[in-house]
Amino acid sequence: MTILVTGASGHLGANLVRRLLEDGHSVRVLLRQGSNNTAVDGLNVERVYSDLRDANAVLAAIQGCDHIYHCAANVSILDGIPELQQEIYDCNVIGTRNLLQAALANGVSKVVVTGSLSAVGYHPTQPSDETVPFNPFGNHLPYEFTKSCVEHECLKAFADGLNVVIAVSCAILGTNDFKPSRMGKTLVDFANGKLSAYVPGGFEFVSTRDIVQGHILAMDKGRPGQKYIFSTQFLTVDELMGIFEEITGKSRPRLRIPGFVMAVIATTADAILPRLFPQMPRRFTSGAVRILQMYRRADCRKAKNELGYQPTSIRQAIQEAYDHFVRRGMIQTVTPVMRASAPN
Ligand SMILES: NC(=O)c1ccc[n+]([C@@H]2O[C@H](COP(=O)([O-])OP(=O)(O)OC[C@H]3O[C@@H](n4cnc5c(N)ncnc54)[C@H](OP(=O)(O)O)[C@@H]3O)[C@@H](O)[C@H]2O)c1
């Protein structure tokens, strides 16, 4: 049986593919030509190249696959740029739709689609579970809107007879972070003494180990048409900085910028930077600051009760991410010793 994984060059996909290979499966990965596909270098996988927006290419890519993990998405914290919004929509919503329709047409027996906590309704005073509806009139990033639409596409495909399950991810932390992710870059910058400030807040995190296990459980035991939230632990940013300090041996930045101040700075930057430097990666946008200030918590009892999901440890995930970055030379652990210059 061949298992197709989309988004295999990404953080989740890189970890999921390794786990599937360890479990003895035959894996096909859907990649894009011209992308950074380092995450699958040296792995014993079948590679197919296609963009999810190309329905015919997706149809060809899934031939002969019985199970699909659809992890790919355009993950973005940007807002207010129409061309970018269209791209996020096309990749996430149309791409998912193309994949699910191809799966239906080819008799694929089960598909697990990665969801996002940002598309689960927000409850200000208690953790959100799968029953809290997404409020379309809330203040959402384009990415968050599309992840809600992705769930809608899944339910339409389920109504048409597809066995599809949504595995909802929280903010991912952990190893095999090749691009690296925004959280991974934050850890790298922290460890290299290049993080000059931080913003208090809080979010629900999931380790790569746990979100991979969640996807496997969703495939093995998830009820068709259902969604399951997988989280490891809620952390405030101050707690996260504490773990970074323990693991890296470095101190957190002295500058702790209050959320409302950072929101003003980020809103100003939102209005200027995307137009001048559209490709520039940004740690903070006003949307990202807002999300941190929501102190969003998740309730994953459904996954625990129905699937037997058991979260592990975020600290361990951060240690594994740190070790991965050290191995790849992205974190300098020793201060280079100045060479004495040779006598003339
Ligand atoms: N990271 C998080 O904290 C987080 C939190 C909640 C939910 N999630 C969800 O988890 C999943 C995986 O996230 P991640 O962190 O692994 O993301 P990631 O590292 O950014 O990887 C995204 C992957 O999707 C692929 N992709 C994007 N658009 C595509 C398209 N049009 N056609 C084909 N492939 C496309 C990318 O391929 P290229 O390399 O070619 O760009 C890449 O492999 C996503 O569904 C995301 O929404 C992530």
Domain that includes residue 77, residue range: 2-176+203-232+297-311
Return the number of other C-beta atoms located less than 10 Å from residue 34's C-beta: 7
| Residue 141, in any domain of the structure | yes
| Residue 222, in any domain of the structure | yes
| Residue 102, in any domain of the structure | yes
| Residue 116, in any domain of the structure | yes
Per residue of the chain (344 residues), what is the pLDDT tens digit?
899 999 999 999 999 999 999 999 999 999 999 999 999 999 999 999 999 999 999 999 999 999 999 999 999 988 878 888 999 999 999 999 999 999 999 999 999 999 999 999 998 899 999 999 999 999 999 999 999 999 999 999 999 999 999 999 999 999 999 999 999 999 999 999 999 999 999 999 999 999 999 999 999 999 999 999 999 999 999 999 999 999 999 999 999 999 888 888 888 888 787 777 777 777 778 888 888 999 999 999 999 999 999 999 999 999 999 999 999 999 988 755 554 444 44
The two most distant CA atoms of the chain are separated, in Å, by: 81
Our mutation pick for probing the ligand 1 site, out of 4, 19, 58, 71, counting the most ligand atoms within 8 A of Cβ, is 71
Residues linked to residue 110 through DSSP beta bridges, in sequence order: 67
Domain of 228, CATH number, reads 3.40.50.720
What separation in angstroms does the CA of 145 have from each of 30, 58, 120, 180, 243? 24, 23, 10, 24, 32
Q: How many domains does the chain have?
A: 1
Atom 36, ligand 1: which residue's CA is nearest? 7
| Residue 66, in any domain of the structure | yes
Report the separation in Å between the CA atom of 46 and the middle of ligand 1, taken as the mean of its atom positions. 19
Q: Which two tokens stand for residue 140?
A: 């959402």
Our mutation pick for probing the ligand 1 site, out of 29, 32, 292, counting the most ligand atoms within 8 A of Cβ, is 32
From its phi and psi, is residue 281 left (phi > 0), alpha (psi between -120 and 50) or beta?
Answer: beta
Place of tokens 């009892």: 301
Report the separation in Å between the CA atom of 147 and the middle of ligand 1, taken as the mean of its atom positions. 11
| Residue 277, in any domain of the structure | no
Reported pTM: 0.95
Place of tokens 């939102």: 270
| Pocket-forming residues, ligand 1, beta carbon under 6 Å | 6-7, 9-13, 32, 35, 51-53, 71-75, 91, 95, 114, 116-117, 147, 169, 171-172, 179, 181
Place of tokens 């001048």: 276
Report the separation in Å between the CA atom of 341 and the middle of ligand 1, taken as the mean of its atom positions. 48
| Residue 273, in any domain of the structure | no
| Residue 258, in any domain of the structure | no
